[in-house]
Structure 1
Amino acid sequence: MNAPFSFSESGVAPKAPADAVKALEAAHAATNKIAPLWSLKTFVAVNPYLGLSSQRFEDAAQTMAQVAGARMTMPRAFYLEALDSGRISKADLAAALEEGGYHGLPQDVESFLSLARAEKAQNLEVLPTVTDILGHQSDKDWTGLMVDKISAYAADFFDEGQASWVNVAREAGLYAGWKKTASVDRSVDIAGLRGFRKAVKAMPDTAEDLIGHAVSLLGVNEEAIDLYFHRLLMSVGGWAAYARQKVWQAELYDRKDTCLLEFLAVRLAWDLALWDLADHTPRFVGAWKQALQEHATPRHQQAVSIACVFQAAYDKAWQRDFIGRFKVTQVNKTPPRKAVQAAFCIDVRSEVYRRALETASADIETIGFAGFFGFPIEYVPLGQRHGGAQCPVLLQPKFIVCESVAGADKNEQTGILDLRVFRRQAAKAWKSFKLAAVASFAFVETMGLTYLGKLATDALGWSRPVPDPLVDGIDKDVQARLTPDIQSGELAGRVTGFNDTTRVDMAEAVLTAMSLKTNFARIVLLAGHGSTTVNNPHASGLDCGACGGHTGEANARVAAAILNDAQVRAGLKQRGIEIPEDTLFLGALHDTTTDDVQVYGEEAVPASHQDDLAQLKRNLAEAASMARAERAATLNIQSGKSVDAQVIARASDWAQVRPEWGLAGCAAFVAAPRERTAALDLGGRSFLHSYNWQDDNNYGVLELIMTAPMIVASWISLQYYGSTVDNKVFGSGNKVLHNVVGTVGVLEGNGGDLRPGLPVQSVHDGEKLIHEPLRLNVVIEAPIEAMNGVIEKHEAVHQLVDNGWLNLFALDENGQISARYTGNLNWENVAGSPLSEAA
């Protein structure tokens, strides 16, 4: 192996490589800069810049340019076109420049524009690795080979059930398994890196030892090591993000997982191997010396700063119209009792449906609340021992709720369970037969023709997605009787359900957080949401993010069952919350693809409420039709044909690349009484959270909103933002080219890195952007000193608002946006005048 790298020939002061302890500290720090990526089963929106929240937006943009060659803004031409068309004004640019903090740029608009128009577009300068340098100098794509090989190994190691044969090397751990595999894999040697296997065999046996050894041999000093490790991880950023999710989940349950550290060691091992295989010519050694100096003192890229100014101006231009839409409104302190109160998720898609439902009936009031309805549960389907986490990924499920069959005695329940288990086992055996290496060809030859009917109906869009009885294992009549069991119990040694006190506690907490403690309607509908789609690997990404990438009916049904419980109501009455005897809570599911709303538990609705329910269902159907008509404008619906039929058909069209637009277009988050936004058409672009600060003792609900729903909304906003401004790095490319790997994620084509974000088709319609690249604009009606208290208390919130990751505004007592947060607990009025800290 080649001798350790020395700075003595470089002409600069020698700097010793970081020692093993410093190397491990830097490695751990680098892993924390990677945003997690959830698997396709529970694909949830994640802020792709999560690990950089402690940096200002512009500084993070410089970092991402250096370590990934990534843009955090649109190309310069996008902003210049917006300026020329009047979308951005010079006043917007002046306001952006006045905020300051942009490195080395002119402060007056004309000088800035002269620089921006004169400077030619340049490729971002990414920091080079050993693999990059050797590939460039030998005119070989060793970086591409490295990505393909690491990706193939990671796909094997992280496989969640797609592969029929499990890689036995995974038992050794990620790094040790890779070392064992790479030591006998001849493909890299055959590709031209002769001696690669030998170099790998000589490497240390543990990830920790490899990291210390490689840093010493490569001469990576303390000044360079942080960016170098970050650069290594971002060179295979998709798989690094998936490994980060494994670490995230372990930390959520107070466990330890080292897979991302080991993944870094694997990537570092490639640099170490290529260092050993390289001819250490003066050209190669000089290039690596220069690379280390650039890692230690990276060059500030002016093009990045210019783009950040334009983005700030672009945000301000949108805010001008948004701020002006809020007019003086009155909040009725003693509103008349409504026939229905319908609570929907804060999801932007609900905004369209809520407006439609309120239009369908003036006797319906809608409420916005996080779609898990305050119940962080693990929901276990009938006959299973474990279920999915029905709560935001920021939270750990606190309760286990099992599914049961309403009205079933012990014998019937046992029979249903036995049948379901049998059908699931049969389905598993059938799948194994279809995919087995020996049987697969014979299966196609003998059974292929039997699938022609299904292929035809699916291709023509004549079928509707329905549960497969061999998969779900439950007959249709039994499915209608499924219900959550909220009573305390036990499953495989784990406590399930809720005890008497916990049920009351949870009910009080959810009603308080919803600002719903008085004036209950006769029917209170709790509507979770999900999406119907076929042949779509990212289907769960269209379901409820607040439910961890699952549909939300389980949470809605659990909440309704608890709030209908007589003992719970008696307990709430003792705590000052009196629910009328004639108030009935019902769970429901809003299908955001079709806008149909399914109401659960109809069979248990008493005769006294049957007419109310019938009227509600008519209103829901009317609202669905109105919502479809509004959404059709962006769905390329054919004229002259039924809009309803065309929108609904998208749910079963297996060739449809965008059955719906998901949360594309999201731009704002409003936490205020519904009266403030009821008269506004927000175009399905705003998260709406019901909140009345006058009823919020000690501002506990405000703190909850700013530390949970607001953060989740910012994650969603920034995922769409990242997938828009640089889909190559932060998105997942073209859906037509996707290949599912390990049920974990997708590759674009047959190789390369795991793709982490949204497909191009989720943000672009083929002619124009549907998602506008904006940072989230948060509007909260609450005293400024109360919001400052939350910002000061919570570092995650402080970083978001002070470092420019979102824009925070205050709504005044008249319903108008009056103040804007400027950082360091300071605010200014919307005209630009400063306000006192506790104004």
Structure 2
Amino acid sequence: MSVQTVSETHLDAPIVDDEALDTDGALREKIERACSRIAPLWPLKSFVAVNPFMGFCDEPFALTCARLRRVARTDMLMPRGFYRQALAEGRITDRDLAEALSTAPSAWKVPEGVEALKEIVEKKSDDAAPRAPVATLAEILDELAAGDRQASRTAFMVDEISKWCAAYFDEGQANWQLPSRNGNLYKAWRASVRYDLNPEMMGIRDFRKNIASLPEDPVEAIALVIAELGVPNRAVEDYLFRALFDIRGWAAYARYLAWDKALYGEEDNTLLELLAVRVVWGYAIYLERTDKPFRDAWAMAMAEAAESPRDERLGDDAGLTVDLIMQDAYEIAFQRALRMDFEAKAAAHGSATEAGRKPLQAAFCIDVRSEVYRRALEIAVPGADTIGFAGFFGFPIEYVQIGQSKGAAHCPVLLKPAFVVCEEVSGATEEEETEILGLRLMRRRAAKAWKAFKVSAVSSFTYVETAGLLFAAKIFGDSARLTRPVPHPNLDGLDKAVVERLRPRLEPRVVGGRQTGFDAEQRVDMAEAVLRAMSLTDNFARIVLLAGHGSTTVNNPHATSLDCGACGGHTGEANARVAAAILNDPDVRDALRERGISIPDDTWFIGALHNTTTDDVTLFDDDKAPESHHEGIAVLKTRLAMASSIARRERAAMLGVQDAQNVDAAVLGLSRDWSQVRPEWGLAGNAAFIVAPRGRTHGIDLGGRAFLHSYDWHKDDDFKTLELIMTAPMVVASWINLQYYGSTVNNEAFGSGNKVIHNVVGTLGVLEGNAGDLKTGLPWQSVHDGSRFVHEPRRLNVFIEAPIEAMNAVIAKHDGVRLLTDNRWLHLFALDDKGRVSHRYAGELTWERLE
């Protein structure tokens, strides 16, 4: 069937392309592909960084820029003015432009020479995205409304879907639960729509009747709508993706539910059902709009979609090509500066290490904030050996706190917890543990009832009138940063006196039976794995510190985003303590000696927690150390305090702390300030992931921009550790990097907007204001200080010291790694045996030698 023009076609007749009408199986494939483009969004209680472009990693970075610009009218590069300013300030040089031009794909239509490129950049560009190859009802309606949000049905539709999703997914915030929330999403929505008069009151005639007439099966409903709207077969997938993109926040949460179920081998269709809700909602608006301007515009849009190209042709968008080259040049400038640092370090014989036993070995998470503290500790303890490793220390555990009935996964979200570890009171009787559990549950129930009383429709007024003045002291303490507005999450429900009495005795139960803890063989296996992964198999110091990390903030819905991503958005305390307890086990050490790892009898491992907001370091279970180590531990605490002060002073400048005489108090105050929008900068600035011995970077000020993973390939006979690093920490670092990238280049689409007006919804996420879609990504205040970008949008630059053949073997074996490297979602470089950057990965297992 050929495409007909609008004048030849009845306005109500569907327009189709030359292809045969879609089959049910083919439609399901298109639905699955559209849904797979959505990246998951973890809830606030375990908010972790996620690559917002995860669903597009099977295609090149440049192609995704073109696809999102054409299909979703969304940019994922900075505005042209950003690159123009970088040129003017000398942050991009002619040399960088020349290299970017020389490495551009041959298919691109690029300017002929640096001067021609600069001339184009200096001109004012049209930043408007081209018309999408397939329009949605939303786009047509918005065009007809001329940007008037009040006249736009799209904004109303998104608000209504978001409001309903908030009720359906709610996890305890709402006082009254949605009656039908226990059923499948699409079925529950259809049930609630029967009583929802809002759409019809807003002028959408027969909304409830039209919804009731559609199929009950979500796939059948989508198929019917696609046919009735006349969406061309070649445009169906793009149409469905754009429909999800309108509600990408709630779609991302639904994608998370499917991700979580998949870890346990289960299926979840929530995202498909949410897609059906969105498509059916749009169809209801279509049926209501019978006016000729709308139907003419829709018919024309479908006719254009039937003739649209199947791929994203960069040559058709010259402005985008120029911006891609400028982004490459911007990243090349950073790479060049870092390569010079490596070169200078290698020239100074940077790999040389002092002979003899180290005064201290301290392992920190690879987190970029640890890079600052590690430099400070190396100043405070000359000769100390600091180690970088994923902050869960190789122990994928579910940790159950004292008084809790359910635990939380303390491991990367790529993994499923393999062990359950319960917190217990050391030496407590069964009666004491029962008392603690009962007390915590009782206090939580009382707190929930008290909150319900405070916020209920009637009692809230009486409460404020009678009890308001009683909170004067509390309000003063919170405002003066002397107290916390809310209890620390780890201590929620515990009486302060009980906490003070039991805190020194709280510890993880490492040894356990079938249900909890580790058996003897598991403890040895895990100990060997973590030591080999850290390249820590000999030359042990007397004291080895294992420091996880966490943050301390208040009035911050995204607080867990500042905790350890490798621990699933929780602090690394539990993992560090578990690792130390196992490595101090004499039976484990005896077994390790038989496996070629001999830990001296006088070596003691200490678990610790680095607070990245205040830069304090807390030691755990140090009272269990042998008496011979007490003096050394006392000295260590003094040195840690010194390192903390050094690190605070470096961060203070970035935080805008002006009082140089009271930096420590000022930084501590930020962690308690309920009005503070930037208590710390988190991982802002991250740009590099370096996998090499510490000697390659020791003494280089990386400015808190690099993930540092310790690795000595000479100790990795079968390159299993290299494989682990490239398939887990490198991928997670890329997720973090691209989340910050997306939140910077287009915060409206991939971030969460202004945190000052955030409202928590369902305890799951935030809205910006009181309506709209669930927000994803990071707040604007996490990447911008009000006058300039603190995070500079660059793709991750990975530097690995290992044989190229070994890296190629990992890339060839793992599709996920190959897609990231071949499609330029990150840049991969090789370090030679002197620590110089010798090669750059060029794709398809080929490398380019760098001079």
TM bin (shorter chain): over 0.9
Query: Do residues 368 (structure 1) and 392 (structure 2) align?
Result: no
For the residues of structure 2 that align with 1:684 and 1:138, how far apart are their CA atoms?
A: 47
Query: Do residues 86 (structure 1) and 99 (structure 2) align?
Result: no
Query: Do residues 315 (structure 1) and 339 (structure 2) align?
Result: no
For the residues of structure 2 that align with 1:333 and 1:641, how far apart are their CA atoms?
A: 36
Q: Report the Cα offset of residue 827 of structure 1.
A: 1.1
Deviates more, 1:88-97 or 1:805-814: 88-97
For the residues of structure 1 that align with 2:145 and 2:835, how far apart are their CA atoms?
A: 65
Query: Do residues 287 (structure 1) and 296 (structure 2) align?
Result: no
- The SS at the match of 2:608 is strand
Asked whether the equivalents of residues 669 and 713 of structure 1 are also in contact (C-alpha less than 8 Å), the reply is yes
Q: 1:584 to 1:294 in 2, by over 3 A?
A: farther
Deviations 1:260-314 (A, max 9, x none): 0111111111222122222263623433324533766467433222211110010
Asked whether the equivalents of residues 17 and 306 of structure 2 are also in contact (C-alpha less than 8 Å), the reply is no
The corresponding residue for 1:137 is 144
The within-5 A match list for 1:283-432 is: 283-290=296-303, 292-293=305-306, 297=310, 300-326=316-342, 327-328=345-346, 329-332=349-352, 335-432=355-452
2:557 counterpart (537, 541, 556): 537
2:536 counterpart (513, 516, 524): 516
Query: Do residues 828 (structure 1) and 835 (structure 2) align?
Result: no
Deviates more, 1:530-539 or 1:413-422: 413-422
Identity of aligned residues (%): 51
2:795 counterpart (772, 775, 783): 775
Structure 2 counterpart of 1:310, one-letter code:
M
Q: Report the Cα offset of residue 132 of structure 1.
A: 2.6
For the residues of structure 1 that align with 2:683 and 2:238, how far apart are their CA atoms?
A: 33
When the two structures are aligned, how many residues end up with a matched partner?
Answer: 823
Asked whether the equivalents of residues 4 and 303 of structure 2 are also in contact (C-alpha less than 8 Å), the reply is no
Q: Report the Cα offset of residue 242 of structure 1.
A: 1.1
For the residues of structure 1 that align with 2:446 and 2:677, how far apart are their CA atoms?
A: 32
Q: Report the Cα offset of residue 601 of structure 1.
A: 0.5
Deviates more, 1:65-74 or 1:40-49: 65-74
Q: 1:528 to 1:470 in 2, by over 3 A?
A: closer
Deviations 1:513-548 (A, max 9, x none): 010111111111110000000111110000000001
The corresponding residue for 1:837 is none
Q: TM-score, normalised by structure 1?
A: 0.95
1:214 counterpart (225, 228, 232): 225
Query: Do residues 103 (structure 1) and 108 (structure 2) align?
Result: yes
Query: Do residues 479 (structure 1) and 503 (structure 2) align?
Result: yes
For the residues of structure 1 that align with 2:352 and 2:251, how far apart are their CA atoms?
A: 51
For the residues of structure 1 that align with 2:533 and 2:826, how far apart are their CA atoms?
A: 23
Asked whether the equivalents of residues 258 and 269 of structure 2 are also in contact (C-alpha less than 8 Å), the reply is yes
| Structure 1 gap ranges (5+) | 832-839
1:173 counterpart (169, 184, 187): 184
1:745 counterpart (755, 765, 772): 765
Deviates more, 1:817-826 or 1:690-699: 817-826
The corresponding residue for 1:834 is none
For the residues of structure 1 that align with 2:307 and 2:173, how far apart are their CA atoms?
A: 42
Deviates more, 1:76-85 or 1:550-559: 76-85
Q: Report the Cα offset of residue 131 of structure 1.
A: 3.1
Query: Do residues 597 (structure 1) and 617 (structure 2) align?
Result: yes
The corresponding residue for 1:205 is 216
- The SS at the match of 1:644 is helix
Deviates more, 1:540-549 or 1:456-465: 456-465
For the residues of structure 2 that align with 1:111 and 1:650, how far apart are their CA atoms?
A: 48
Asked whether the equivalents of residues 189 and 196 of structure 1 are also in contact (C-alpha less than 8 Å), the reply is yes
Q: Report the Cα offset of residue 217 of structure 1.
A: 1.5
The within-5 A match list for 1:47-62 is: 47-62=51-66
The corresponding residue for 1:762 is 782
Q: Report the Cα offset of residue 138 of structure 1.
A: 5.6
Asked whether the equivalents of residues 17 and 215 of structure 1 are also in contact (C-alpha less than 8 Å), the reply is no
Q: 1:369 to 1:285 in 2, by over 3 A?
A: closer
Asked whether the equivalents of residues 68 and 126 of structure 1 are also in contact (C-alpha less than 8 Å), the reply is no
- The SS at the match of 1:386 is coil
For the residues of structure 1 that align with 2:542 and 2:492, how far apart are their CA atoms?
A: 40
Q: Report the Cα offset of residue 470 of structure 1.
A: 5.9
Deviations 1:13-49 (A, max 9, x none): 6445423222111011111111111111111011110
- The SS at the match of 1:764 is coil
Q: Report the Cα offset of residue 97 of structure 1.
A: 2.1
2:467 counterpart (430, 447, 463): 447
Q: 1:295 to 1:218 in 2, by over 3 A?
A: farther
The corresponding residue for 1:663 is 683
| Structure 2 gap ranges (5+) | 10-14
Q: 1:342 to 1:69 in 2, by over 3 A?
A: same
The corresponding residue for 1:123 is 128
The corresponding residue for 2:289 is 278
- The SS at the match of 1:697 is coil
Q: 1:280 to 1:28 in 2, by over 3 A?
A: farther
Deviates more, 1:319-328 or 1:197-206: 197-206
Asked whether the equivalents of residues 169 and 181 of structure 1 are also in contact (C-alpha less than 8 Å), the reply is yes
The corresponding residue for 1:239 is 250
Asked whether the equivalents of residues 243 and 259 of structure 1 are also in contact (C-alpha less than 8 Å), the reply is yes
- The SS at the match of 2:78 is coil
For the residues of structure 1 that align with 2:83 and 2:123, how far apart are their CA atoms?
A: 14
The within-5 A match list for 1:795-806 is: 795-806=815-826
Asked whether the equivalents of residues 39 and 51 of structure 2 are also in contact (C-alpha less than 8 Å), the reply is yes
Query: Do residues 35 (structure 1) and 39 (structure 2) align?
Result: yes
Asked whether the equivalents of residues 17 and 220 of structure 1 are also in contact (C-alpha less than 8 Å), the reply is no
Query: Do residues 187 (structure 1) and 187 (structure 2) align?
Result: no
Q: Report the Cα offset of residue 606 of structure 1.
A: 2.1
Deviates more, 1:705-714 or 1:293-302: 293-302
Asked whether the equivalents of residues 48 and 730 of structure 1 are also in contact (C-alpha less than 8 Å), the reply is yes
1:249 counterpart (241, 244, 260): 260
For the residues of structure 2 that align with 1:573 and 1:191, how far apart are their CA atoms?
A: 75
Query: Do residues 578 (structure 1) and 580 (structure 2) align?
Result: no
For the residues of structure 1 that align with 2:539 and 2:318, how far apart are their CA atoms?
A: 58
Query: Do residues 652 (structure 1) and 663 (structure 2) align?
Result: no
- The SS at the match of 1:480 is helix
For the residues of structure 2 that align with 1:550 and 1:788, how far apart are their CA atoms?
A: 34
Query: Do residues 721 (structure 1) and 741 (structure 2) align?
Result: yes
For the residues of structure 2 that align with 1:35 and 1:173, how far apart are their CA atoms?
A: 21
Q: Report the Cα offset of residue 438 of structure 1.
A: 3.9
For the residues of structure 2 that align with 1:13 and 1:225, how far apart are their CA atoms?
A: 11
Asked whether the equivalents of residues 526 and 560 of structure 1 are also in contact (C-alpha less than 8 Å), the reply is yes
Q: Report the Cα offset of residue 466 of structure 1.
A: 5.5
- The SS at the match of 2:180 is helix
Deviates more, 1:477-486 or 1:190-199: 190-199
Asked whether the equivalents of residues 17 and 219 of structure 1 are also in contact (C-alpha less than 8 Å), the reply is no
Structure 1 counterpart of 2:324, one-letter code:
C
Q: Report the Cα offset of residue 126 of structure 1.
A: 5.4
For the residues of structure 2 that align with 1:411 and 1:457, how far apart are their CA atoms?
A: 37
Deviations 1:765-795 (A, max 9, x none): 1111100111111111000111111111111
1:69 counterpart (65, 69, 73): 73
Deviations 1:726-763 (A, max 9, x none): 11101111111111111111111111111101111101
The corresponding residue for 2:12 is none
Structure 2 counterpart of 1:633, one-letter code:
A
Q: 1:145 to 1:17 in 2, by over 3 A?
A: farther
Structure 1 counterpart of 2:733, one-letter code:
A
Structure 1 counterpart of 2:136, one-letter code:
T
Q: Report the Cα offset of residue 455 of structure 1.
A: 1.2
Asked whether the equivalents of residues 18 and 216 of structure 1 are also in contact (C-alpha less than 8 Å), the reply is no
- The SS at the match of 1:642 is helix
Structure 2 counterpart of 1:79, one-letter code:
Y
